[in-house]
Structures are given as structure tokens and as C-alpha cells.
Amino acid sequence: MKTVLITGTSSGYGRETALHFHDRGWNVIATMRTPRPDVLPESDRLRVIGLDVTEPDGIAAAFEAAGPVDALVNNAGIPSIGVFEGTPAARVREVFETNTFGVMETTRAVLPQFRERGSGVVVNVTSSVVLGHMPLTAVYKASKMAVEGFTASLALELAPFGVRAKTVEPGACLTTNFGVRATNGVSPDDMFPEPYAVWAKKAVDGFMGQDLFTRESDVAEAVWRAVHDTTGQLRFPAGPDAVRLAEAR
């Protein structure tokens, strides 16, 4: 029986992905910054472990507690919307610490066992913002583009050892708490300084008016496909809006 470790499983894509793998017979190590076992079913094939991907000691402890795994799904992330001029430097660093450096460090933690065993797969959840030109996402997109580049090069480094690396690119999902977390308690006036206000409102209205959106299940299914893919495909758009963006490139 195979085991997957998934980060950021308290809600949204991560929780749905944990359920998806569990329902299909895998052992699931569900990690989250603040452990909440109540958000997932009780099962002898599912364990909840605390993990803050920005804390190196915590990463080491989590992987030691998890034991051998066959797949790592880096799902934990911080959303961010707003114009760059209105985004404090501290917020930029916070986003990169989780979205980019956190992914790198959890990946670093799992690679020795994958390489020595000659098998394993790392799936990094990025975003459909990497597929098109989207306003108000400068910082968020930069953090996810960095992971795309990291994964593409990593896949080449790991191939000689029989280890794979993939990305999953979710579209916009209205049923997650992305919007609340993306603002991080920042007022609209700070996110969209007055010179940008009219233009930013049009951009947000355009986004909310799109006709295609992604469901959590679309992302879970794409992660499942990525974990099992042996064709060499690197990127997996998830959700109809992400697929449309990928096809338009």
C-alpha cells in the first residue's frame, strides 16, 4: 500500500486531495500548520501531523514522524491579491517563504529517500496564474512561477534516479477561502491605492464575471493523475478555466 504526504490539508484543495487518495486505498499523511483531525475522517490509513513549511525543524520532525512515503504533494500556500505598489515588503517575503521556499525545503527533505529507493514523485501545486496574463497577482504569480521553474529543472535532475517531479496548475475556485486569505486583513484602500482603484475594480469584476471556474475535486483528480503519470508530462492544468488557458498558450 502506497503512502502520500500532503501539505496544507485543513481545507480546500489539500483536504479534497487527502480524501481523494484515501478513498482510493492510499495511506495519507495529512499535514497542516495547526492540526485539526476533525476536518478529515477517522481511519487507520490517515494520519494528521502538524507542519509549518516555513520552519526547517518542523519539516524534519514531520518527515521523521511520517516515515517512508511514495509521493509528496506540496499544496500548502498563501494567496495574495493587490497591486504591487500597495503590497508591503513583509507580505512579499511571507508569500515567498511559504509558496516557494517552503516547497523547496519539504522537497529537499524527501529527496534522499526517493533517490536511494529509486522511485517517488513530487507534485507541486502552483496556479493557473502562471498560464496567462493576470493583473493584481504580481507577488503571488512570481512565487508560483518560481516553483514552476524549480520543478522543471528538478525533474531533469531526478530522472536518472527514477524519481519524478510535476506541477498541478489549479484554476480559480470560488468555494475556497482564497479571497479572505489573499487580503490578509488588508483594507481595499491598501490593496488598491487610489490611483489604481477604478482600474482594479474593473479587473476584479472581469475575473468574477468569467464563465469557467475550478472545483476542489478538479485539483484532487489532477494531482492523482500527476502522481501516477509516467509519460513525462510535466504540467497538469486543473479545472476547465485552467485547461482553457493552457490550450490558448
Is 140 part of the annotated catalytic residue set?
Answer: yes
Q: Which of 140, 178, 224, 236 is catalytic?
A: 140
Q: How far apart are CA 131 and CA 141, in angstroms?
A: 10
Q: What is the DSSP code string of 149-180?
A: HHHHHHHHHHGGGT-EEEEEEE---TTSSHHH
Across the beta sheet with 121-125, the strand order is: 46-50, 27-32, 3-6, 71-74, 121-125, 164-170, 235-238
State the catalytic residues: 140
